[in-house]
Each structure stands twice: as structure tokens, then as C-alpha cells.
Structure 1
Amino acid sequence: MSVETGYEEIGILKEIAELLNEGTDTNAVLSGVLKRLLQVTGLQTGWIFLIDENGAHQLAADEALPPALANDEKQRMCQGKCWCVNKYNNRQLNKATNIMECKRIEEAIEEKAGETCGLTHHATVPLGAGQERFGILNVGSPNKMHFQKNELALLEAVAYQIGTSLKRIKLTQREQETALIAERNRLARDLHDSVNQLLFSLSLTARAGVEMTQNNEVKQTFSYMQDLAQEALGEMRALIWQLRPRGLENGLVSALRSYADMLGLSIETMVNGAFIIPGKVEEILWRIGQEALANCKKHSQTTEAVLIFHTSKDGVMMTIKDAGCGFHYDENLDIPSLGLKNMKSRTESLNGSFRLTSKPGSGTEIQMYIPF
């Protein structure tokens, strides 16, 4: 390798490192780096698969895919298995591999799914940092059948930079989540020490006013104020619970039991499985459970609910139901309330599925499944 070529590669690595250090959004960072990598290397096509601990891949970035791979909203890239992903999952991919036939391209040709623009092969490079593995980088060009050693070395260096950046983003997100929890705890403490105490004092003052006056109209006014203060106090306590769920450290089911008790609900629980739930999933289920139990308290016209909780190595299913008044619901129409829509969107934010069942006089049931 000449001195000039060496300086050029150092410049490429420096430029890509600057791009990787600019953002905290994984897909945006990967898209920007992939595009720049292809520009400076003269390669035409590339894509990045992020692969989770279970071996499932997702297309995180792509550039200039041929129509055979880009058609149908890139479904061919998002589904099915291929040789590079299999090698990665079998831990047979430890460095840049030169050169791998593309199973997805071969299948597209067999099925006459579209133009391949001369792309038949690609180089594959694992993305990682230390012992952590994140996925693979694939790059290629039309009719390119061989990568030189210096090309593979450059791709490995870039892949290592990408892996280090992914680890940094992951740690940053974890730090932000920790800071968010700390801020929630602070806000909950401040609400308890200030607004909660003011409402309690207002309730006592109104009660004293009822006892001190003989005027019926004034008594009614003070009674109304006391009722409002008590209602606001209940809402505030529920809000504090949402911000800082005491008992969540003892498990989600225990926390939901305590929350139901705070609302004045009697809850029957059935638990199956003993697998650990990821923190993000537990947080989502906690929020959904709160919303569901609050709805039961406000709308079901019953004080009894059932919680069914099932965990496995692949995911968790939670069901909350009541035998209350129910309501008309057609699953082919939009979900009727904002609270229920929030439950659905929270579930789907983690690639989960949400199901709502309700009929007048037959109660309401919500069921959600979140994979992990």
C-alpha cells in the first residue's frame, strides 16, 4: 500500500468517525455513514442488518438497492434467511468475508422479481465492539467479484467504528433512561411534598367550615369544596404512583396489585412463567396496566378485575379484564378512546400486538403480547 493510499484511507476513517460521533439516532447515523462509505470507496450498493440476541435481523440502513431487492417496500430484505445472516448467527463470521454470493439476489432472479443491475455478490463484515455483536455490513457493486486485501481491511476498520458507535448510542440511551427515572422520582417527591399537602389542607379546612357554620347554603358550599379536594387528592396520588411506582422493585404484578388496591379495586391475579422481563417491556406494561385499571375504576361500574400474566423465553402476555358494563366496540373501526389508543401505541412501539374485546353487559378485556 502506497503512502498516498494510506493517507487516503486515514482520511476516510476520520471522516466516518466524525459522522458516527454526531448523532444518537441509530438508523440516521447508520444511513449517513453507509452513504458516505460508498461514496469514498466507489462502491455502489450497501445495506446494514442489525441482529438481536435471538438471531432476528432488521434492515437498519440501505443505499442504492437494485429493484429486485427494493420492490414491495424492501420486503425481500426484511424477511427470510440468507447465508450472511446464518453465518453471523452461527458465529462463523468473525472478519470481513470476500466474497459471498447473495441468496436474496439469487432468489429474486429465480422468481423474476426485478432488475438486479449486475449485483450478484457482496462483501460481508460483522459489526461489533469488544465482546458485543450488533449485526453485519454488506457492500457490493455491479459485476464486482473480488475485494482486495486493503479494501477488506478498510471495511473492517469502518465496521469496528460503527460497532463502537452503536455501543456508545446504547450506553447513552441507557443513561438517558436512568436520568428520566431520577427526574420522575424528583417530580413525584415534589408533588407529594407540595401540591398533595395543599390539597390535604384544603380538604381539612373545608371540613372545618362545614362544622363551624349553621347556614345550609354555606355548608353545601364547603361540602362541595371538600368533595372536590378529595377527588383532586385521589387524582394526585394516582399521578404520583404513575411517576414513581412504589413496589415495582418487587415485580410488575405486585405493583399492579398495589395500584389496584390504591384505586379501591379488588384484583384476582394469575401468573404463569418465571422469566425475567426486560426493563423497557416492564415499563410499558406498567403504564398500560395503570391505564387499564383506572378505566376499570372509572367506567366499568364494578370494583373487581382480573390480571393474567404469562411470561416465556420469547415474550410476555398480559391480560386485564372485568365483568362490568362493557361497551359497543367493533374491531374493524378505530379504538374509541385516547387512553385505549395509548395502550395500543405503547404495545406496538415494542413490536407487540394489542387486542381489545368488549360488549355491553359482558365486560371488557384487553390483551397485549410483547416479544423480546
Structure 2
Amino acid sequence: MEDYNKIFTLKTIAEVLNRSYERKPMLQSVLESFLDITHFEAGWIFLGQQEMKLVADAGLPEALKVNHKQPMCGSESCYCLSSFEKNHLDGAISILTCKRLEKANAEGIYDTNGFSHHATAPLQDERHKYGVLNVTAPNRETFNPDELDLLQSIAKQITHALKRIELFEAEEKRVKLYEKLNNIASSLREVISYHELHQVITNNVINDLILGCTININDFTYDFGEKTPQAYSISMPELDGELEFFMSKKIDERESEFIRLLTQNIKLTIKTLQLKEHERKIIQLQERGALAQDLHDTVNQLLYSINATTSALKSMNQEQALVEPIEHLQQISKQALKEMRQLIEDKQSNLINEGVISSLNDYASQLGIKILWNVEGLNYIQTYIQENLYKVCREAIHNVHKHAKVAEIHITLNATIKGIELTIFDSGCGFNMNNVHTSYGLKGIKERIYLLGGTCHITSQPSKGTKINITIPLQS
């Protein structure tokens, strides 16, 4: 070629391309170098998928730089970009006329430096379409085959470089995703409760990529963040559930792999929590059995002896003044023995297996009380909290039987991932809150709830019944 050496130009451009892994700086450098060693005086590069954008330029005339390069925006009326988007560019060609320059020349307001036409080469291969490379020289309406051949060779070099950067960025993205996954996995390994799982997902999982997620397990749903149309669902058959992520965009192959591995970590954490809960149940059952045996061997035997002694004393007594005290003592001992046996039965009961509702229904039916239930989300509640709620409700049922003079009690229980609300109401005789000291039963209810980190409010009025409102926050 007359004006430049093709091999030297290709070698120079190759060296420039190999010096950078950042797309825009590389394209800007290669464009400037190409113009320096050839007779072309201006050039620009467009890249994009859905929308083509100017990413590099050099030597632009005033007519194309005006208003922050506003004439270089848009592709609707541009010959080169419309041809590229319609797959009509197979190699470097001479554009008959540049619509951007044609418009500027027609207006005659800003200088075009004598540019009216340009040569275009597509930046693409068999699988990828990146953009176009445009170069021009003043007072040229066409470009010869050698110039177009060189331009096509440069375009291929740039295309290979763009592909290399794309692979580098993909690997860099994969590394960052794995680093993030490792941090999340480390936090999940420290989780010992569903509350902590909620915190890890909220603080570590929800981000600019994952805007929200939903965990569905055993017909119960845990929601985090916000929901978007870009949903990605993964089945968890081992837990009889599903994990659904709501993304900020359509995810690529690396992000899909990240989501899959993240799901495995969350699934493992939930499974571990379930195993710990099962282990805790077994330990509690063992402790209950041991305590029940101790009560049977000590206190229960003593109460039985007291009851037998008072029965014998009653039959032997001949003094009228002692009849009533002995009768009262016998009634107390019988009641104490009955309640102790009931307590032993409770300690050995199948509360954990049968559940709170079934156990309370059984107890209430023994006292002739009917429970009107309204329950949601019982499975959200950890076992030790369920046991405390069972004892609270049992005490309330006992009070209704003993004092309220009604045969029904209303119990409403609403549990979510945020907390627990329990309301117990009876329409019995009630009592005056100002005149009655708090009984040991009501005091015990308040103390149990306090130890769980909750609040308990008891209200009552004569002839208007009694109401117990209990709230237990999630962190308990």
C-alpha cells in the first residue's frame, strides 16, 4: 500500500489491544493509534445490544461534537447502524453518505472539516454482535479496497479483543459471586434460629441483584424484600418446599449458578435447624420423663400419705369441732394429689407430638370447657415457646372452669415471621381489677411471657368477662 504498511499497522494495533482489559479505554486508545498511523483523520465506535451507544471517538468535527456530542446519539436514521442491526453488514464497506454529516452540512452552522462519507466495519463474529467501527477522511466520497481490507482486519482484531475482555469480565464476575457466596455461607453456618436466618437473608442475600426472595416450606411462606417480574424458582423436595428469588434483571449463566449454590446453602441451614429442633424435642422428652419419675417417687407419695392419714383421722375422730377442719384438710390433700398426678401426666404427656391445640382440647374437655379456636401460623413457633403458650392457655382454661362460670373460652393465636399474638377471652363473670389481688395463676402467666421477652395485658370487668392479650416479638 502507498500510504502505510499494513503489517506495521496491524502489529501496532495488536500491541495496543493487548495492553488493556478495560473496554472503553482500550477502544479509545486503539482508535487514536489507528488514526495516528493512517491517513484517516476521524473515527468513532458504537457498541450495544438493544441500544447502540458511542463508546470511543477521535478527531470528530465541531458539527458532531456540539451539545455534548448530541448528533452522535440515536440510530434510527443512521445508515451504518441500521444496516448492522438488520444483519446487512458482512464486512467493511463505504457508506455512500453519512446521515449525521449530511444533516450537519445541510444546516451549515458548524464545521464538518470536509467530512461527508465514512467507511464502516462491523465488530462481530459468528456468535457475537458487538458494534461498528467508522473512520473517515476529508473530501472523500469512497474508499478503495485496500483501505477497506485494512479496516476489516482491524475490526477483526478489535472483535477478538472485545471477546477476550468479555471472557475476562465473566470470570471476574464469577470470582466476585463466589466471594459473596462464601461470605453468605459463613454467616449461614453461624445461624442457630429462624430469626438469625431471617437476619442473614435480609442483610446478606438481598442486594442489588436479588431484590427479594420467598421460602415456601410445609405450606408456610417466609417473604423477604420485594417481588419483581424476574422470578427464579428452585424446588427443595427434601424440605417439601420451594425457594423463589426475585431478581433486578434477567440473570446470566454465572448468576444462575450462584443462585443454585446459594439455594443449597439456605436449604442446608434450614435442614440443620430442623434437626436441632428435633434433637431439642428428644432431650425435652427425656427430661420430662426423669422429672415425672422424681415427682412420682417423692412429692406424689407424700401427698398420698397425707390423704390416707386424713381419711383415717376422719374415721377415728369423735369431736364435732374437728369435723370441719379435717374435712377441709382432706379436700385440700385430695385436690393437691389430683393436681400432682395431672402434673406428672403432663410431664410425661405427648404434648410435643400431639401439639398444643390437641393437648389443650383434651384438657378443656376434661373440665367441661369448649375452646373456640382461631389459629394461624402455629408452625412458625419454636417448640419451647409452644410449651409456654400451652401452660398459659391451660392456666386460663383452669381459671374459666374455677371462676368464670361459663363453658366456653375464645383463643386466638396469630404467628408470623415477625412475632406472635395470643388473645384469650371468656365472657364469664369477670372481676374488679382494683379490688382483686393478682392470683398466683395470673402472676405466673405474666412471668412466663416476660421471660420470653413478651408483654402480657390482662383486663376484666364484673359481668363482662376477662381478656388476656399477649405479644411475643420475633427476637425471643
Question: TM-score range with shorter-chain normalisation?
Answer: 0.5 to 0.7
Give 2:202's aligned residue: 238
Give 2:105's aligned residue: 109
**Mapped contact 1:122–1:138 kept (Cα < 8 A):** yes
Q: Counterparts of 1:245-284 in structure 2 under 5 Å? A: 256-258=213-215, 277-279=249-251
Distance 1:268 1:178, change over 3 A: closer
Q: Shift of residue 257 of structure 1?
A: 2.6
**Mapped contact 1:117–1:142 kept (Cα < 8 A):** yes
Q: 2:152 aligns with which of 149, 156, 159?
A: 156
Q: Shift of residue 172 of structure 1?
A: 1.2
Distance 1:242 1:69, change over 3 A: same
1:148 maps to a residue whose letter is: N
Moved more, 108-117 or 20-29: 108-117
Q: SS at the partner of 1:257? A: strand
Q: Shift of residue 279 of structure 1?
A: 1.7
Q: Shift of residue 237 of structure 1?
A: 5.2
Q: SS at the partner of 2:143? A: coil
Distance 1:231 1:187, change over 3 A: same
CA distance in 2, matches of 1:36, 1:80: 26
Q: Counterparts of 1:285-296 in structure 2 under 5 Å? A: none
Q: Counterparts of 1:31-46 in structure 2 under 5 Å? A: 31-46=28-43
Q: Shift of residue 72 of structure 1?
A: 0.4
Q: Shift of residue 278 of structure 1?
A: 2.5
Distance 1:237 1:134, change over 3 A: closer
CA distance in 1, matches of 2:201, 2:231: 32
Give 2:68's aligned residue: 73
Give 1:187's aligned residue: 183
Give 1:218's aligned residue: none
Q: SS at the partner of 2:162? A: helix
Q: Counterparts of 1:1-372 in structure 2 under 5 Å? A: 8-52=5-49, 54=50, 56-81=51-76, 82-193=78-189, 196=190, 235-236=199-200, 238-242=202-206, 256-258=213-215, 277-279=249-251
Q: Shift of residue 66 of structure 1?
A: 0.6
Distance 1:272 1:41, change over 3 A: closer
TM-score w.r.t. the length of structure 1 is: 0.55
CA distance in 2, matches of 1:173, 1:60: 17
Distance 1:263 1:138, change over 3 A: same
**Mapped contact 1:44–1:64 kept (Cα < 8 A):** yes
CA distance in 2, matches of 1:270, 1:169: 31
CA distance in 2, matches of 1:272, 1:185: 21
Give the root-mean-square deviation of aligned CA atoms: 4.0
Give 2:312's aligned residue: none
* 1:250-277 CA distance string (max 9 Å, x none): xx78x52339xx9976999686999x95
Give 1:308's aligned residue: none
* 1:296-350 CA distance string (max 9 Å, x none): xxxxxxxxxxxxxxxxxxxxxxxxxxxxxxxxxxxxxxxxxxxxxxxxxxxxxxx
CA distance in 1, matches of 2:32, 2:226: 55
2:62 maps to a residue whose letter is: P
Distance 1:234 1:104, change over 3 A: same
Q: SS at the partner of 1:107? A: helix
Q: Shift of residue 59 of structure 1?
A: 0.4
CA distance in 2, matches of 1:266, 1:132: 37
Computing the radius of gyration from Cα coordinates, the structure with the larger value is 2
Distance 1:157 1:80, change over 3 A: closer
Gaps of 5+ in 2: 233-246, 256-476
* 1:29-75 CA distance string (max 9 Å, x none): 100000000111121110011132x3x21001110111111100001
Q: SS at the partner of 1:151? A: helix
1:89 maps to a residue whose letter is: E
Q: Shift of residue 232 of structure 1?
A: 7.7
* Equivalenced residues, count: 239
Gaps of 5+ in 1: 204-229, 284-372
2:25 maps to a residue whose letter is: A
CA distance in 1, matches of 2:204, 2:226: 24
CA distance in 1, matches of 2:67, 2:46: 18
**Mapped contact 1:192–1:240 kept (Cα < 8 A):** no
2:250 maps to a residue whose letter is: P
CA distance in 1, matches of 2:128, 2:182: 34
**Mapped contact 2:92–2:122 kept (Cα < 8 A):** yes
Q: SS at the partner of 2:96? A: strand
**Mapped contact 2:215–2:223 kept (Cα < 8 A):** no
Distance 1:257 1:40, change over 3 A: same
Distance 1:267 1:24, change over 3 A: closer
Q: Shift of residue 148 of structure 1?
A: 2.5
**Mapped contact 1:129–1:167 kept (Cα < 8 A):** no
Give 2:336's aligned residue: none
Q: Structure with the greater relative contact order (CA < 8 A, sep ≥ 6): 1 or 2?
A: 1
Q: Shift of residue 144 of structure 1?
A: 2.0
Distance 1:121 1:273, change over 3 A: same
CA distance in 2, matches of 1:187, 1:163: 36
